[in-house]
Amino acid sequence: MHRRTCLKLAGAVALRGLAAAQKKSDPIELDSRRELFVDRYLIERMEGTDLRLQSPILCEQVLTLDRPWEGAFCGYFTVIHHGADFHLYYRGVGSAGADGRGAESTCYAHSTDGIHWTRPSLGLFEVNGTKDNNVILAHEPPFSHNFCPFLDTRPGVPATERFKALGGVKQSGLMGFVSADGVHWKKLRAEPVLPPTQQSAYDSQNLAFWSQAEQRYVCYYRTFKKIEGMGGVRWISRTTSPDFRTWEAGREMTFGAAPPEHLYTNQTSAYFRAPQVYVSIAARFMPGRQVISNGEAASIGVHPDYYKDCADAVLLTSRGGFGYDREFLEGFLRPGVGLENWVSRDNYPALNIVQTGPAEMSFYVNRHYGQPSAHLSRYKLRLDGLASLHAPYKRGEMMTKPFLFSGNRLELNYATSAAGSIRAELQHADGTPVRGFTLSDCRDVIGDRIERDVEWTGGQDVASLAGKPVRLRLQMKDADLFSFRFRSA
């Protein structure tokens, strides 16, 4: 059998295995994984509760794009948290023009906390007459147009390939790059790892990562889909690979019953505290939706071709395979106050969410695109705080599907009002409450904690139920639950 045929079969088997891992009648194998309330994967019913999208908090500008090799059209940012270091990558270019031209370069910044960033003088490439810059790739069009790195977490990956990247446009295909340190890069081989195809467009930020859940590399890339009445809509497609070198034929992603929208950058990544959940803070582009007038555009100095559209960001999730869950259609990131935020291709999030404090995580957003004031801003959320299971003051409940767990403690990440509370009940798969773990046995969970174990009158130990099919019933009042997991004390 040919190698490509074997790879296709292996990939198909892997994806079928993910989709069919649990029959509807079988309990979900939860083990000790943390679960977020970003979809209805575990939820069987809700009464008086709902899933609620959270609101990111705008913090500081972390990078003003004012160096001679940067400028108003910097874009396609990627943030990588690796040990004590944060790495930032982005396109440097100061003028509008064709994708993949020689004027584009790839820039790098470094941080030790994700908040304060420096641009090291690397001396690797001469740009605009100087090597005193933070450029890590230049003079190799078209790859700096959308150079997108990732930290390869596959077990056994060679040290020389610890960092990998994709870059390229429709004509070139996507070239693979590798690096030992994330600064010094070389091509993986002379040919692209993802060659041009009739379906691929690649004219956006095309990303890849090693999926711990699927045990394969996954790549999400730009295609267009013809939609009646809309023409070509910016779409997301996906492919997988066992080795980053040979990839399966790609397929379009699906979005359930959600209406088709232009999703410009998808920014899909495995959430760092629950890698079985892929999170996408995607840029939603609204072509032709002009908000500011010609005079207002002139007053802020935006390029004359870049103010007749607007954009925000939406939250998508996936658990592998070729489907996104769009539980939330509302804007996750609104443009906000200021004419500068209502221009074309503005408010595009950087790839990846990173932890920037004991109870805090951050993501970054490209702001004031096409303007002299172009910059990168940081937004913050509580850990796991993309969405929550929410209950109002008058109380509500949620019941999960049957599942199996391991460990001896039930841990919650939650917030209540002073009058609010959460109680948990463990039930047998048939819905019968487990003696000693009923709602009446549970002590009220009150406060605002990233990690707190549930306690019943008999204690916290739930080891007697580990490995047995159970359900979790939650009774809540004026409270938000962001995540939970079973763990070993």
Residues of the chain with CATH 2.60.120.260: 28-54+387-487
pLDDT at residue 4, as a whole number: 42
- The pTM score is 0.93
H/E element, 374: none
pLDDT at residue 17, as a whole number: 42
Sequence-distant (6+) residues with CB within 8 A of 306 are 96, 343, 344, 345, 369, 370
Query: Is 28-54+387-487 in CATH node 2.60.120.260?
Result: yes
DSSP string, 239-295: EEESSSSS-PPPEE-B-TTPPP-EE----EEE-TT-TTSEEEEEEEEETT---S-HH
pLDDT at residue 6, as a whole number: 43
Q: Is-contact 122 179, C-beta < 8 A?
A: no
Query: Is 57-382 in CATH node 3.20.20.140?
Result: no
Sequence-distant (6+) residues with CB within 8 A of 239 are 194, 218, 219, 221, 247, 248, 249, 250, 251
Sole residue written with tokens 């204690």:
459
Residues of the chain with CATH 2.115.10.20: 57-382
**What is the residue-level pLDDT of the chain in tens, covering all 489 positions?**
444 444 444 444 444 444 444 456 799 999 999 999 999 999 999 999 999 999 999 999 999 999 999 999 999 999 999 999 999 999 999 999 999 999 999 999 999 999 999 999 999 999 999 999 999 999 999 999 999 999 999 999 999 999 999 999 999 999 999 999 999 999 999 999 999 999 999 999 999 999 999 999 999 999 999 999 999 999 999 999 999 999 999 999 999 999 999 999 999 999 999 999 999 999 999 999 999 999 999 999 999 999 999 999 999 999 999 999 999 999 999 999 999 999 999 999 999 999 999 999 999 999 999 999 999 999 999 999 999 999 999 999 999 999 999 999 999 999 999 999 999 999 999 999 999 999 999 999 999 999 999 999 999 999 999 999 999 999 999 999 999 999 999
